[in-house]
């Protein structure tokens, strides 16, 4: 599909609006959810404690609820991650963004890594929810990234995700190409970290990315609407929130 054939929803439904900064106030969190609704994005990825609020605010909309598991370092025990997943689902979460145990990946402890990811996927899939597995590629070598792609494929992860947005680097073209090449077709790719412009969103789409985590949602989609000659979204009562 060419750029000119893309609809607004083709692009807005690529964005998981990130409301993840630990310094956000309650007002900023509420404004962020309202912004996501106004721009009709794919999901709101919110601080875990605010999931109940988010679920209530998004009820009846086409914007899905998502939150983080084992964030941002992936160092929580598997039992803790499993509990986090169960609690998030109980609070209304539909999509869970979990961080792999980075230390175990770098140590080559692949049985642990597989079991850790599998525990969250099992909880989520039993509840008909979806999982995005965050690699945090900035800390990994190519061999480790490929191995994670293979594990995600075998465990039927719903997405493989580049980054938390809180590491030393975000999504890169080389990493996107590698992940799309080595993940099975049923595993979608999510890019996060550094997705701040409309052109970058289009570039990610061309590389096979289906979802992008972003906090610059308003900036990206305002430009999208200008390109498509659509009216501006009324944002008088909204203020952007900083996620990652």
Residue-level pLDDT at 237: 66
| Ranges in the chain, pLDDT < 50 | 240-244
Q: Is the pTM of this model over 0.85?
A: yes
Domains of the chain in sequence order: 7-227 (3.20.20.70)
Element (H, E) at 79: helix 78-90
Q: Is 10 a catalytic residue?
A: no
Strand 188-192 versus strand 43-46 pairing type: unpaired
Q: Does residue 190 carry a catalytic annotation?
A: yes
Annotated active-site residue 97? The verdict is: yes
| DSSP labels, 139-174 | G--HHHHHHHHHHHHHTT-SEEE---SSSS----HH
Q: What is the pLDDT of residue 10?
A: 98
pLDDT of 146 reads: 98
Q: Identify the pLDDT of residue 242.
A: 47
pLDDT of residue 126: 98
C-alpha 110/C-alpha 115 separation (Å) is: 8
Among 81, 145, 147, 161, the one annotated catalytic: 161
Contact assessment for residue 211 and residue 7, using Cβ atoms and an 8 Å cutoff: no
Selecting among 91, 97, 158, 175, the annotated active-site residue is 97
The confidence score (pLDDT) of residue 241 equals 47
pLDDT of res. 2: 54
Specify the DSSP class assigned to residue 65: E
pLDDT of residue 236: 75
Q: Residue 95's pLDDT is what?
A: 98
Query: For residue range 185-194, what is the model confidence (pLDDT) as tens digits?
Result: 999 999 999 9
User: Which own/partner contact pairs does 177-181 have at CB distance under 8 Å and 24+ positions apart?
Assistant: 177/207, 178/142, 178/145, 178/146, 178/149, 179/135, 179/145, 179/149, 180/207, 180/208, 180/209
């Amino acid at each position: 599909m060419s750029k000119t054939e893309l609809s607004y929803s083709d692009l807005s439904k690529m964005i998981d609006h990130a409301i993840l900064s630990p310094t956000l106030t309650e007002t900023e969190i509420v404004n962020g959810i309202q912004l996501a609704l106004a721009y009709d994005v794919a999901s709101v990825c919110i601080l875990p404690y605010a999931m109940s609020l988010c679920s209530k605010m998004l009820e009846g909309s086409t914007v899905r609820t998502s939150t983080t598991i084992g964030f941002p370092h992936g160092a929580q025990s598997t039992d803790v991650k499993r509990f986090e997943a169960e609690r998030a689902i109980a609070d209304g979460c539909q999509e869970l963004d979990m961080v792999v145990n980075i230390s175990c990946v770098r140590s080559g402890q692949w049985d642990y890594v597989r079991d850790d990811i599998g525990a969250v996927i099992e909880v989520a899939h039993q509840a008909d929810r979806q999982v995005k597995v965050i690699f945090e590629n900035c800390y990994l070598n190519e061999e480790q990234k490929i191995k994670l792609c293979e594990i995600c494929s075998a465990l039927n992860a719903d997405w493989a995700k580049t980054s938390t947005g809180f590491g030393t680097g975000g999504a890169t073209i080389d990493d996107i190409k590698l992940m799309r090449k080595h993940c099975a077709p049923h595993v979608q790719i999510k890019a996060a970290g550094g997705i701040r412009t409309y052109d970058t969103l289009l570039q990610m789409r061309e590389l096979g990315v289906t979802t992008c985590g972003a906090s610059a949602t308003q900036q990206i989609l305002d430009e999208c609407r200008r390109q498509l000659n659509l009216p501006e979204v009324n944002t008088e009562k909204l203020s952007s929130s900083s996620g990652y």
